[in-house]
Structure 1
Amino acid sequence: MHHLTVIGGGLAGLTAAITAAEAGARVTLYEAHHTLGGRARTADGPYRTNNGPHTLHGGGPHWTWLRHRGLTGPLAPAGPRETARLRLHHRGVLRRTPPLALLRLVRRDARQAPVDADFLSWASAQTGEEGARAAAHFSAVTLFHHDPGALSAAFVQERLRRAARLPTEARHPRGGWANVVDRMAARAWNLGVRVETLARVDALPDRHGPVVVATSLDSARRLLGDGSLTWTGGRTALVDLALRTRRGDPCALSDLDAPGRFDRPTARDRTLAPAGEQLVQGQIPIAPHESRGDGAARAEHLLDLGFEGWRERVTWRRDAVALGRTGAVDPPGTTWRDRPALDRGAGVYLAGDQVAAPGMLSEVSFNSALEAVALAFGIRDRLDLKRA
């Protein structure tokens, strides 16, 4: 039996560990934190906030893989009511319907965007600059980037189409993402995976088999001493609020005049906050020169528009800045194939959301984990990656 060492206990590390154990390998997983989950952790206490907005997309491979193993658990309902309560900030006012130009860009028969052009230039030629900017800003819900229009047109178009698809692809585990992590961890333990928490790894351990480094790209660069492990990401101001419940609040508020969005997860899952209160989670992408305060100011302006009297209703608040939360974003002229390669030589492989694997958001972590295990053990014929 082969032995695999996994460094990092987030979604990528757990997926790699489970996949290898299912294939018959002995697996040891090291996690520096006292709990597993990485960015998919959910806060304890009365306000069950994820570490930033989290969504499973039913059109992606990660969803199929989790469902096949019974790891998704109960899901919060998402239906026409939630879509009907979406508000869009456009031209300084709140609207119920998106601009026609945005709808043109997400149609199935819309022209395929090129890799080499930036999204704003390409989309402006299709629908005009105002509509192109609105579409770019709407796509920020899946990009967490301060200037989506400057990214590869093909990259943004794919994510824009999936974000705007009806019925929605979004799937939300009831009780927060920690419940999915707990189920993944239980499956790993049942398969015999040895899990070591509070085990920070500062150098590659002595080993008798391959290693999957399933950490952030910054951590992987330091661990492996490889300065080439870099890729473009983003910075996002996160604003989490608990508000006393008021009828009429939107389920989601998306900014089309600038990148940013607020969601009210308790609209679909009442278990996330105490009775009489609701959670509102926002993400406002900020440029490299902007501060957390700049992001918070834009967030508060958006709240003023969409959540009447929110300042008097606040019972709890948390502000933070997330670095690289977007995972990988592809500048013009690049695709996922140009990101850092999974195979680093000498039996070392990468997995995570900024490496050379396809997908959107956490799907990149999942796909890279499966591919890393397939490369490590030469078991591609036993892993149906497309079907997974």
Structure 2
Amino acid sequence: MQRTITVIGGGFAGLVAAITAAEAGATVTLHEAHATLGGRARTAEGPYRTNEGPHALYRRGPHWTWLAQRGLVGPLAPLPPREAARFRFHHAGALRRTPPLRFLRHTLRTAEQAPVDTDFRTWATRVAGPEAAAQAAAYSGVALFHHDPGALSARFVQERMHRAAALPPEATYVRGGWGRLVERLAGRARELGVRIETSSRLTELPVADGPVVVATSLAAASGLLGDASLRGESGRTVLLDLALRTRKGDPFIVSDLDAPGWIERFTAQDPSLAPAGEQLIQAQFPIAPEASKADGVAHAERLLDLGFPGWREREVWRREAVSGGRTGAVDRPGTTWRDRPAVDRGDGVYLVGDEVAAPGVLSEVSFTSAVEAVSLALRTRRLDLKST
């Protein structure tokens, strides 16, 4: 009997699930509520090709091998050596070319694995001192999108900090923005016969002859599954995108070590993201639940004043947004990824995305959960067929 799988959601997790199922011989239908695929991996069309916040592929991640084996990584945007030298750190109110020595030693140390049941601030203070601990917590915000990384599980923060600070760098950039990666994923899905229905918003689970993979946010999944327990903690961050007229000497990155915040000039490695003579800057500044978008924008502008002289007169385009509950799960002390909502929801329904019970960093969680969901779905389907 032909196996059938329905996927709800056409973002990164949904497309990976659809491809994985189709490669295993299943008949797959994918429903996407919007007119275009991609979810948070969409790249804006037009002169400024912005992602929804900083996006990068980590070479040591499980999805890197999976994409490479299928020829889906595509052209990458290498960083010119001269730009790598333009990494700046904001510390004690000033921009510096090098980070404090204690911070550097702590972020690169691998001798001691951080505990799960202690918060990062307490553990890092014990091993490196309070100043280095605060700096490391702020730096880790680039991979957390959370206003207070020090309050999270020490193991959770340590893993992300080491991945972000790895030498040689793990992060790689997709030329043209992540939308190009989505296009390749969608093309692969269609080649395999996946039926993709866009502008197909479902308000309840479909009556399907086979498993259903729900690849949406937890909030949307809660409504579809009628399960109010589907909740998770995530970061809340201000996203600021700017196009500036090009000026020689602008930094590539400004990392704030006084409070979580990150500015990156994405046209340093990929000039195609903005028109000639202009550069695209994307920044993320986590804010507390009670803080406003204006607070995050003010933080960003203070760092822009230090790192990008005359940026106000050079500004030709701007976009501001607050991203809440859309930045991946965070783990409090005493919890790990295993404590998040389970992938297998029972009755042939599977939940995937970056806030579910799967290992990895950032988009790796979406990938891992998608592959796991399809594996469970097909295994269960085979068992059901044997019992009939």
Structure 1 length normalisation: TM-score?
0.96
**Secondary structure of residue in 2 paired with 1:76:** coil
Structure 2 counterparts to residues 198-277 of structure 1, below 5 A: 198-277=199-278
Whole-angstrom CA distance in 2 between matches of 1:273 and 1:139: 28
Secondary structure, counterpart of 2:234 in structure 1: coil
Instruction: Report which stretch shifted further, 30-39 or 370-379.
Output: 370-379
Q: Name the counterpart of 2:34.
A: 33
Q: Confirm or deny that 1:344 pairs with 2:345.
A: yes
Kept in 1, the 8 Å contact 2:204–2:223? The answer is no
For each residue in 1:225-261, what CA deviation from the matched residue of structure 2 results, as whole angstroms up to 9, or x when unmatched?
Answer: 1111111101110110000000110001000000000
* Pairing 1:184-199 to 2, within 5 Å after superposition: 184-199=185-200
Could you list the per-position Cα deviations for residues 329-386 of structure 1 after superposition, in whole angstroms to 9, with x for gaps in the alignment?
10000000000000100000000000000000000000000000001011899xxxxx
C-alpha separation in 2, matches of 1:362 and 1:279: 23
CA distance in 2, matches of 1:379, 1:347: 8
Within 2, Cα distance between the matches of 1:56 and 1:378?
A: 30
Deviates more, 1:51-60 or 1:98-107: 98-107
- Structure 1 stretch displaced more, 108-117 or 190-199: 108-117
Structure 2 match to 1:361: 362
Contact 2:108/2:165 (<8 A) preserved: no
CA deviation string 1:47-99 (max 9, x = no partner): 11111111111110111111111111100003543332110001111111111
- CA distance in 1 between counterparts of 2:192 and 2:70 reads 13
Q: Which moved more, 1:103-112 or 1:16-25?
A: 103-112
What is the alpha-carbon distance in structure 2 between the residues aligned to residue 107 and residue 362 of structure 1?
23
- Which residues in structure 2 correspond to 1:12-23 (within 5 Å)? 12-23=13-24
Matched, 1:102 2:99: no
Q: How far apart are the structure 1 equivalents of 2:248 and 2:357?
A: 45
1:278-289 equivalences in 2 (<5 Å): 278-289=279-290
Shift of 1:104: 2.2
- CA distance in structure 2 between the aligned counterparts of 1:224 and 1:13, rounded to whole angstroms: 17
Letter in 1 for 2:54: P
Question: Following the alignment from structure 2 to structure 1, what is the Cα–Cα distance between the partners of residues 327 and 177?
Answer: 19
Q: What corresponds to 2:69 in structure 1? A: 68
Report the number of matched residues: 381
Alpha-carbon deviation of 1:108?
4.4
Distance 1:373 1:293 in 2: 42
Between the aligned partners of 1:16 and 1:307, the Cα distance in structure 2 is 42
Superposition deviation, residue 43 in structure 1: 0.6
Partner of 1:140: 141
Structure 2 gap segments, 5+ residues each = 383-388
Contact 1:101 1:132 in 2 (8 A): no
> Is the alpha carbon distance of 1:79 and 1:380 closer, same or farther for their aligned partners in structure 2, counting shifts above 3 Å?
farther
- Three-state SS of the structure 1 residue aligned to 2:222 is helix
Q: Assess if the C-alpha contact under 8 Å between 1:236 and 1:286 holds in 2.
A: yes
Residue 132 of structure 2 is matched in structure 1 by 131
Cα deviation, residue 222, structure 1: 1.1
Q: Is the 8 A contact 1:3 1:25 kept in 2?
A: yes
8 Å contact 1:175–1:271 — kept in the other structure? yes
Partner of 2:329: 328
Corresponding position: 1:42 with 2:43? yes
Per-residue Cα deviation, 1:194-215 (whole angstroms, up to 9, x for no partner): 0000000101111110000000
2-side partners of 1:283 and 1:183: how far apart? Answer: 27
Please say if residues 204 and 225 of structure 2, whose CA atoms lie closer than 8 Å, have aligned partners that are also in contact. Answer: yes
> What does residue range 75-114 of structure 1 map to in structure 2 within 5 Å?
75-78=76-79, 80-114=81-115
Q: Per-residue deviation at 1:325?
A: 3.0
Q: Are residues 245 and 79 of structure 1, via their aligned partners in 2, closer, same or farther at CA, if it must alter by over 3 Å?
A: closer
> Do the aligned partners of 2:3 and 2:381 also contact (CA within 8 Å) in 1?
no
CA–CA separation in structure 2 for the residues paired with 1:344 and 1:79? 46
The Cα of 1:8 is off from its aligned counterpart by: 0.2
Q: Does the 8 Å contact 1:144/1:284 carry over to 2?
A: yes
Alignment partners' CA distance in 2, 1:159 and 1:299: 22
Distance between the aligned counterparts of 2:310 and 2:158, measured in 1? Answer: 36
Q: Distance in 2 between matches of 1:79 and 1:323?
A: 33
1:325/1:96 CA distance change after superposition, 3 Å:
farther
Q: How does 1:145-160 map to 2 (within 5 A)?
A: 145-160=146-161
State the partner residue of 2:58: 57
User: What is the distance in 1 between the residues matched to 2:308 and 2:381?
Assistant: 51
* Amino acid aligned to 1:187: R
Contact persistence 2:245–2:277 (CA under 8 A)? yes
- Give 3-state SS (helix, strand or coil) of 1:364's partner: helix
**Which sections of structure 1, spanning at least 5 residues, go unmatched?**
382-388
Q: In the aligned structure 2, how far is the partner of 1:110 from the partner of 1:260?
A: 27
Change (3 A) 1:208 1:380: closer
Corresponding residue for residue 319 of structure 1:
320
**Residue 115 of structure 1 contacts residue 154 of structure 1 at CA under 8 Å; is this kept in 2?**
yes
TM-superposed deviation, 1:323: 1.2
Contact 1:152–1:332 (CA under 8 A) maintained in structure 2: yes
What's the secondary structure of 1:262's corresponding residue? Answer: strand
| Cross-structure match for 1:297 | 298
What TM-score do you get using the length of structure 2 for normalisation? 0.96
Alpha-carbon distance in structure 2 between the residues aligned to 1:49 and 1:193? 28
User: Structure 2: how far apart are the matches of 1:272 and 1:379?
Assistant: 44
Distance 1:80 1:166 in 2: 14
